């Protein structure tokens, strides 16, 4: 039977429970344990798919097509194993299940209540992955903060699970904040004491306290926290601010978090091997050079909106021993008059995924500029679709070309909805979602990047390249180098005469991990360096040939 670790948060949100959970999981995995992480989110949305990225950051899509919380991205990037629908549960989904059962008459006339019906459903889902036999340890992150009304059924369920299982089969790590008060020149423990009290009032006693802090914890502070919060002194773990999230597992190892956890779960501490991780960290911290990449999108005010893209650049940069400086550029602010000033200094441009009309023309203008100037280009999902529209307008001369998402009446619908999608009315969970096959054309850039012909990548979109136009595109120099072998949908476009111009209909950023940096990101960063080294003169020459 699997062991269960629960991660709760006190004092405030944004303490980094997801990174902590992923770091602990990484350490346990590096000691030979089979670990998975799941996240329980207390909001009423059935999944985060319908949430605006401004609300909750990016929506992370799993292999099986679940639209999930972005913390699942951290889990995958750290552990290098895929998650699934079962790894992310929201209050909305729990209630939906219970209400559906009630409608089917499954509760036989009983009054359906939070306790036991909602908590039973939460419990079933919390224990599900542990019962699969695939994991030795299941880490469950509870979203939100202890004390939130919405979080109560989850904490109550944890209480019940703790009561039902053997003492050494469960463990609670409570994340908390130790603020440093400048005026008093002191680290304050009172908020932590209160949040532990709050947990205890719900019948749950944490075993390990993980303390976010700007300054190192003194021995005296550790002793005080242990005494007042009812934990052992070596269970007070310092989580000090670090330069990169990828340093957290190493910091946690220094604090002996993993051995403390294993001791409490009565599991042997197998030899740890973090050498690959440490290599990555060394490369990340000691780059040999840098490249500057523009990220053109419309949610740039919030870093979390393009989380996986930023992380994939971190992986792709380290793989090249380069620092990637990502410059976020608002697509709404780009026009013909300022495009040179906004993009001229960049070594590569990525046009981001997205929905809706806002900022579209800026993206198209940006793509025209990089296409004509030989600047490496990487388009993802909507970014790829924009590159198709741009090519149609400016190379094929189809001035009215558009996606029917933005202009349903366009006379040149080069991006259009598939027939099956047109019938769908509901917004939630109805896109082309999850992993699909793609075959790459031998000899193409995509093929050389992946080094293989058959790949699968994850999708999240409704619109597609309109195959009616494919022949015209290919004749004019933009080819489909990746297609879905089952339905011939275009998955990758590229311009062979350009140094690096790739648009992908899928989301490669979702599959980039520390152990497996994504080949298109790695190749794109490399191309950016080549462009940088080639200098401006070369670019001017390219421009001349493009115009000839």
Q: Quick one: how far is CA 80 from the chain centroid?
A: 13
Task: Give least dist CB 422 to ligand GLN, A.
Answer: 13
Q: Which H/E stretch holds residue 156? A: helix 152-164
Q: How far apart are the first and last CA of the chain?
A: 69
Q: Considering beta carbons, is residue 261 or 381 the nearer one to ligand GLN?
A: 381
Q: Does 504 sit near ligand GLN (CB under 6 A)?
A: no
Q: Which residues contact 225 (CB under 8 A, 6 or more apart)?
A: 189, 192, 209, 211, 217, 231, 236
**Distance separating alpha carbons of residues 510 and 508, to the nearest angstrom:** 5
**9 counts as binding ligand GLN under rule CB under 6 A:** no
Nearest distance in Å: CB 374, ligand GLN: 25
Shortest Å, Cβ 67 to ligand GLN: 11
Complex with ligand GLN: residue 15 or 296, whichever CB lies closer: 296
299 binds ligand GLN (CB under 6 A): no
526 touching ligand GLN, by CB under 6 A: no
Q: How far is the CB of 461 from ligand GLN (least distance, A)?
A: 3
Of 196-204, 351-359, 364-372, 482-490, which part binds ligand GLN (CB under 6 A)?
A: 351-359
The structure tokens listed for 303 are 């870093």
Pinpoint the alpha helices (H) of 238-381: 248-254, 257-264, 275-285, 307-319, 339-343, 360-373
Q: Rounded to an integer, what distance in angstroms lies between the CA atom of residue 484 and that of residue 476?
A: 22
Least CB distance from residue 463 to ligand GLN, whole Å? 3
The catalytic residue among 347, 373, 498, 507 is 507
What are the phi and psi torsion angles at 327 (to 5°)? -100, 115
Catalytic residue among 381, 457, 461, 464: 381
Q: How far is the CB of 499 from ligand GLN (least distance, A)?
A: 24
For 126, the enclosing helix (H) or strand (E) is helix 119-131
Is 355 a residue that touches ligand GLN (CB under 6 A)?
yes
Minimum separation from the CB atom of position 310 to ligand GLN (A) = 16
Contacting residue, 405, 491, 494, 509, with ligand GLN by CB under 6 A:
405
Cβ closest to ligand GLN, residue 20 vs residue 463: 463
Element (H, E) at 19: helix 17-30
Give the interface size with ligand GLN as a residue count (CB under 6 A). 10
Nearest CA-CA partner of 391 in 309, 497, 252: 497
Q: Candidates 75-83, 120-128, 130-138, 347-355: pick the segment binding ligand GLN (CB under 6 A).
A: 347-355
Q: Which is nearer to ligand GLN, 235 or 403 (CB)?
A: 403
DSSP 467: G
The window from 2-10, 37-45, 312-320, 353-361 that contacts ligand GLN (CB under 6 A) reads 353-361
Cβ burial, residue 86 (10 Å; 0-12/13-18/19+): middle
Q: Which residues pair with 7 in a beta bridge?
A: 141, 173
For position 307 contacting ligand GLN by CB under 6 A, the verdict is: no
Name the residue nearer to ligand GLN (CB basis): 129 or 417: 417
Q: At its nearest, how many Å lie between ligand GLN and the CB of residue 432?
A: 8
Asked if 281 touches ligand GLN (CB under 6 A), the answer is no
Q: How far apart are CA 143 and CA 131, in angstroms?
A: 22
Placement of tokens 């709404």 in the chain: 332
- The one catalytic residue in 76, 390, 464, 509 is 509
Sheet containing 348-351: which strands, arranged edge to edge?
A: 322-330, 289-297, 348-351, 377-380, 501-504, 490-494, 479-483, 432-440, 454-461
Q: In angstroms, give the least distance from the CB of 403 to ligand GLN.
A: 7
Rounded to whole angstroms, the Cα distance separating 25 from 31 reads 10
Given the rule CB under 6 A, which of 19-27, 146-154, 166-174, 349-357 is the region that contacts ligand GLN? 349-357
Is the CB of residue 509 less than 8 Å from the CB of residue 61? no
Q: Tell me if 353 contacts ligand GLN by CB under 6 A.
A: yes
Q: Is 509 a catalytic residue?
A: yes
Q: Which two tokens stand for residue 234?
A: 């070596």
Spatial CB neighbours of 297, under 8 Å, sequence gap ≥ 6: 305, 306, 328, 329, 330, 331, 351, 352, 353, 354, 359
> 74 vs 462, which CB is nearer to ligand GLN?
462
Query: Does 19 contact ligand GLN by CB under 6 A?
Result: no
Nearer residue to ligand GLN within complex by CB, 339 or 382: 382
354 lies in the site for ligand GLN, by CB under 6 A:
yes
Q: Please confirm, yes or no, whether 381 is among the known catalytic residues.
A: yes
Q: Which is nearer to ligand GLN, 319 or 381 (CB)?
A: 381
**For ligand GLN, which residue of 46, 291, 382, 396 counts as binding (CB under 6 A)?**
382
Minimum CB separation from ligand GLN for residue 386, in Å? 9
Return the residues of window 442-481 that contact ligand GLN according to CB under 6 A: 460-463
- Identify which of residues 215 and 303 has a Cβ nearer to ligand GLN in the complex: 303
Report the alpha-carbon angle 511-516-517, nearest 5.
Answer: 75
Asked if 457 is an active-site residue, the reply is: no
Count other Cβ atoms within 10 Å, centred on residue 186.
12
The span from the CA of 242 to the CA of 212, in Å, is: 10
The binding site for ligand GLN (CB under 6 A) comprises: 353-355, 381-382, 405, 460-463
What residues are labeled active site? 381, 507, 509
């Amino acid at each position: 039977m699997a062991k269960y670790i629960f991660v709760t948060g006190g004092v405030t949100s944004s303490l980094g429970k997801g990174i902590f959970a992923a770091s602990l999981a990484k350490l346990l995995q590096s000691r030979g344990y089979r670990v998975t992480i799941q996240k329980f989110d207390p909001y009423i949305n059935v999944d985060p798919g319908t949430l605006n990225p401004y609300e909750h950051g990016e929506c992370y899509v799993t292999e099986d097509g679940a639209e999930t919380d972005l913390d699942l991205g951290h889990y995958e990037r750290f552990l290098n194993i895929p998650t699934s629908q079962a790894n992310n549960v929201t209050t909305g989904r729990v209630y939906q299940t219970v209400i559906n059962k009630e409608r089917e008459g499954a509760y036989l006339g009983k009054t359906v209540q939070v306790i036991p019906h909602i908590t039973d459903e939460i419990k079933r889902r919390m224990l599900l992955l542990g019962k699969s036999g695939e994991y030795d340890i299941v880490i469950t992150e509870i979203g939100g903060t202890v004390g939130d009304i919405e979080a109560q059924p989850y904490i109550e369920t944890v209480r019940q699970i703790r009561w039902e299982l053997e003492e050494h089969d469960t463990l609670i790590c409570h994340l908390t904040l130790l603020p440093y008060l400048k005026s008093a020149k002191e680290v304050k423990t009172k908020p932590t004491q209160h949040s532990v009290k709050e947990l205890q009032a719900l019948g749950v006693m944490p075993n390990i306290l993980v303390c976010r802090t700007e300054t190192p914890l003194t021995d005296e502070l550790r002793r005080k926290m242990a005494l007042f919060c009812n934990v052992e002194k070596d269970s007070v773990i310092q989580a000090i601010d670090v330069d990169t999230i990828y340093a957290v597992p190493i910091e946690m190892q220094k604090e002996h978090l993993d051995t403390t956890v294993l001791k409490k779960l009565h599991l042997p501490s197998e030899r740890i091997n973090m050498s690959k991780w440490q290599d990555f960290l060394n490369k990340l911290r000691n780059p040999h050079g840098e490249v500057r990449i523009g990220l053109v999108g419309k949610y740039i005010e919030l870093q979390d909106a393009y989380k996986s893209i930023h992380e994939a650049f971190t992986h792709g940069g380290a793989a090249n021993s380069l620092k990637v400086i990502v410059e976020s550029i608002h697509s709404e602010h780009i026009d013909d008059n300022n495009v040179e000033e906004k993009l001229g200094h960049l070594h590569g441009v990525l046009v981001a995924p997205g929905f809706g009309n806002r900022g579209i023309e800026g993206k198209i203008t940006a793509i025209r500029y990089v296409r004509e100037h030989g600047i490496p280009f990487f388009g993802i999902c909507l970014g790829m679709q924009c590159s198709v529209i741009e090519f149609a307008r400016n190379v094929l001369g189809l001035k009215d070309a558009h996606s029917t998402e933005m202009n349903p009446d366009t006379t040149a619908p080069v991006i259009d909805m598939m027939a099956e999608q047109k019938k769908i009315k509901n917004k939630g969970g109805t896109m082309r979602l999850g992993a699909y096959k793609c075959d790459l054309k031998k000899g193409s850039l995509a093929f050389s990047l992946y080094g293989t012909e058959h790949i699968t990548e994850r999708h999240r979109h409704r619109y597609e390249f309109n195959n009616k136009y494919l022949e015209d595109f290919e004749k004019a120099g933009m080819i489909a180098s990746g297609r879905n072998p089952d339905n011939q949908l275009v998955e990758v476009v590229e311009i062979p005469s350009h140094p690096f111009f790739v648009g992908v209909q899928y989301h490669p950023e979702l599959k980039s991990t520390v152990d497996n940096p994504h080949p298109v990101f790695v190749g794109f960063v490399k191309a950016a360096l080549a462009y940088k080294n080639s200098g401006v003169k070369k670019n001017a020459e390219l421009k001349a040939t493009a115009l000839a």
